Structure 1
Amino acid sequence: MGNDGGDARGWGVFGLTGLVGQSLRVQLRPDDPLAWAVTRQPPADASALPWITGSLPALADPPPVQAIASLGPLDAFTDWFDGSSLAPQRLVVLGSTSRHGKADSPDPEERALARRLADCEARLSACCASRGSALTLLRPTLIWGHGRDQNLSRWVALARRRRWLPLPATARGLRQPIHADEVAAAVLAALRARVPVSGAFDLPGAETLPYDDMVLRSLQAGAPASRLLRLPAPVFRALLRLAGRRGPGPGLVSRLGRDLTYDGAPVRAALGLAQKPFRPRPEDFPA
C-alpha cells in the first residue's frame, strides 16, 4: 500500500492551467477542498490558489490528499503516478475516446496514441487496485471552448483568415462535441460525489450531429463573414497535397466521414450530469 497520508484531506489537481483546468477553476466553490495544484508556471491570477511549481515526470510526491484529479496528458500522469507513493481514496483522470476512434487510423502516430491510451488505462487500473484507490476514468469526445482547443477553434481561426473553409462533401460523420466547461463539471461531480464512482466512462456531448454541420455552426458563431465550401473528395485531397505539412493529416481526413459516437447515458447516470445541446456563441471563439 502506498502513502495515503492517514488523515489526508482535500484534493490535488494536475492541469489546472489547461483548457479544462481553466473551466474547472471558474466552477470551484468556496467549500471545495483544493489542497494543491501542480503547474509548470503559475498563471498571472494565481495568488489565491495553492500552487506547486513542477513538471512531470520529475515531480516529487506532493503532500498526501484524499483525491487527485488529472486534467492533462494521460501518459505523463500515468508514468508519474505509477512511480509515486501516493494512494488517494479516489483518482479522477481524463483520457480520450481516441483510444477507440484512432485505433485503426491510417496514421501510424495516431495508432500509437490509441495504444498508449489503452496501456495507460490498464496501468492506472492496476495501480489503483493495488493501492486501494477508486479510479474514475473519463474519456471525453471532441473537446472545444474558450478559443483554446485544437478542434473547432482551429477551423474558426482558419476561416477568419481566409473568409472560407474547405471541407470534403463526405465530411458527414457523426460527432458529439463537448464543451470544456462540461468536462470540468464531470470531473468536479466525481470529486464531490459522496461515494467514489469507480469505472471507465466515455464522455460525449449531449448532441449528435454531422461533422460539417458542427463546423458550420462554429463558423456562424465565430467567423460569420466566412463560408463553408464543400468540395468533392478528390478536389479536397488535391488541396491537401498542395498544403503539404500545413494541412490536416491523413488520420483526421479519413475520419471525417466516419461516425464516432459513444453512449453518454452511463456517465450521466453515474455522475448526475446535466448537459446542453451544441449551441456555440461568439464568445466561445475569442479572437
Structure 2
Amino acid sequence: MGGGADGASAVIGGNGVVGSYIVGHLARQGKLVFALSRSKRERSEGEWIRADLLEPNTLILPTFSTLYCTANAVLLADALPYLLNPSVKRVVAFSSTSVFTKQDTEVAAEKELIRQLLAAEQKIVAACQQRSIEWTILRPTLIYDEGRDSNITPLSQLIRRFRFMPLVGGAPGLRQPVHAEDLAVGAIAAAASHAAANKFYSLGGSETLSYREMIGRIFDALHLQRRLIPLPSWLWRAGFGLAQPLFPGSNVAMGIRMMRDMTFDCTPAARDFGWSPRAFHPIFDQSSVRLLSRES
C-alpha cells in the first residue's frame, strides 16, 4: 500500500456509479486517490483498498485529507469515527432527496429507510463537528448512468423487453434526473469550496421534465417508438399484485409518485461550487446495450 500524502483523497464506494467517476476525475487531475470498496476491481486509476463499512474496526488506511462517501450514508455514520484520522479536513457524503420525497410514503420499509437516512445525516454532521472537520452532504435526485444505475437502466430494460410503459395518472410529476458523472464533478468542486462547508445541498439535473417525458426520452435513446400507456391510479393499485413480477423491485408507492412533483432548488449549489449539470438526453452506446442485454 502506498503512503498517504497531504491533499490525498479517499473514496468510499470507489467502484460504484458515482464513486468511480470521482476516482477517475481525481486521478486524471494528478491527485493521489484511494478507492475503497468491498471487492477489488482492476483499474488503472487510483489505488484500491479493501474496506467494508460493516467491519470498521478492521480498516487500516493511509492518511488523506478529503473523504468522499458515495456508499450508504447509514453505514458511513457508524463507521465514520474509525475513518476520521487527524489529517482529514473535509468529508463529502451522499444522501438522497428521498428524505423529502418519501416522508409520506405508504410503504413501511421506505418509511424506515428514510428515518435511518435522516438519523445518519445528523450522526455524520455530529462526528465531524466533534473533530472540527468541515462537512458537506449532497442529496441527489434521480441518478442515472446508462447501463450502470438502478433508476433509468432498469426502466430501459423493461422498455426493451415489453416495448411499452404504463404510466400512472399519465405521469405528470416533474423530475430532474442527474448524471452520475455530474455528481462526481460536483462533489469534487464542493470539497474544494469554502462556501460549501457545513451545508446540505439538493442536486438535480439542469432540466425539469415530466416523468412521462423522461420515459419518452428513454424510448428515444433506445431508438424505439414511444408507447406510453396511461393508467388510472385505482387500476394501478388494484392490479399491482399481478403486475409486480414484471416490475421487480417496485412497489405501489413508486407508481403513485409518477403523479407527484419531485423537484428541488439547485441555486445554492450553483452559487457555492458552480453546479452545472447536463440536460437529460441519455445515450445507450454499444457498451450500454451489451450491459442491458446481459441483465434483461
TM-score normalised by the chain length of structure 1: 0.89
Tell me how far apart the structure 2 counterparts of residues 173 and 196 of structure 1 sit (CA, whole Å).
Answer: 30
Corresponding residue number in structure 1 for 2:12: 14
Tell me how far apart the structure 2 counterparts of residues 195 and 174 of structure 1 sit (CA, whole Å).
Answer: 29
Tell me how far apart the structure 2 counterparts of residues 95 and 177 of structure 1 sit (CA, whole Å).
Answer: 15
- What is the CA deviation profile of residues 250-269 of structure 1, one whole-angstrom value per residue up to 9, with x for unaligned ones? 22122111111111000111
Tell me how far apart the structure 2 counterparts of residues 256 and 95 of structure 1 sit (CA, whole Å).
Answer: 22
Corresponding residue number in structure 2 for 1:132: 132
Which of 266, 269, 277 lines up with 2:268 in the alignment?
266
Q: Does 1:58 align with 2:66?
A: no
Q: Identity percentage over the alignment?
A: 30
Corresponding residue number in structure 2 for 1:188: 188
Corresponding residue number in structure 2 for 1:43: 41
Alignment check: 8 A CA contact 2:14 2:37 kept: yes
Tell me how far apart the structure 2 counterparts of residues 217 and 24 of structure 1 sit (CA, whole Å).
Answer: 27
Equivalences, count = 281
- What is the CA deviation profile of residues 189-240 of structure 1, one whole-angstrom value per residue up to 9, with x for unaligned ones? 1234477633111111111111111111112112515622223333333442
Alignment check: 8 A CA contact 1:61 1:86 kept: no
Tell me how far apart the structure 2 counterparts of residues 7 and 212 of structure 1 sit (CA, whole Å).
Answer: 48
Specify the code of the residue in structure 2 equivalent to 1:211: Y
Query: Where in structure 2 are the equivalents of 1:93-112 lying within 5 Å?
Result: 93-112=93-112
Tell me how far apart the structure 2 counterparts of residues 197 and 32 of structure 1 sit (CA, whole Å).
Answer: 24
Specify the code of the residue in structure 1 equivalent to 2:280: F
Alignment check: 8 A CA contact 2:77 2:123 kept: yes
Query: Where in structure 2 are the equivalents of 1:1-287 lying within 5 Å?
Result: 8-44=6-42, 46-59=43-56, 60-87=59-86, 88-193=88-193, 197-222=197-222, 224-225=224-225, 227-244=227-244, 246-247=246-247, 248-283=250-285, 285-286=288-289, 287=292
Specify the code of the residue in structure 2 equivalent to 1:165: M
Tell me the SS of whatever aligns to 1:106: coil
Tell me how far apart the structure 2 counterparts of residues 43 and 225 of structure 1 sit (CA, whole Å).
Answer: 37
Alignment check: 8 A CA contact 1:145 1:179 kept: yes
Tell me how far apart the structure 1 counterparts of residues 228 and 154 of structure 2 sit (CA, whole Å).
Answer: 14
Change (3 A) 1:90 1:164: same
Pick which of 205-214 and 240-249 moved more.
Answer: 240-249
Alignment check: 8 A CA contact 1:222 1:285 kept: no
Gaps of 5+ in 1: 1-5
Change (3 A) 1:280 1:30: closer
In the TM superposition, residue 61 of structure 1 has moved relative to its aligned partner by: 4.1
> What is the alpha-carbon root mean square deviation over aligned residues?
2.3
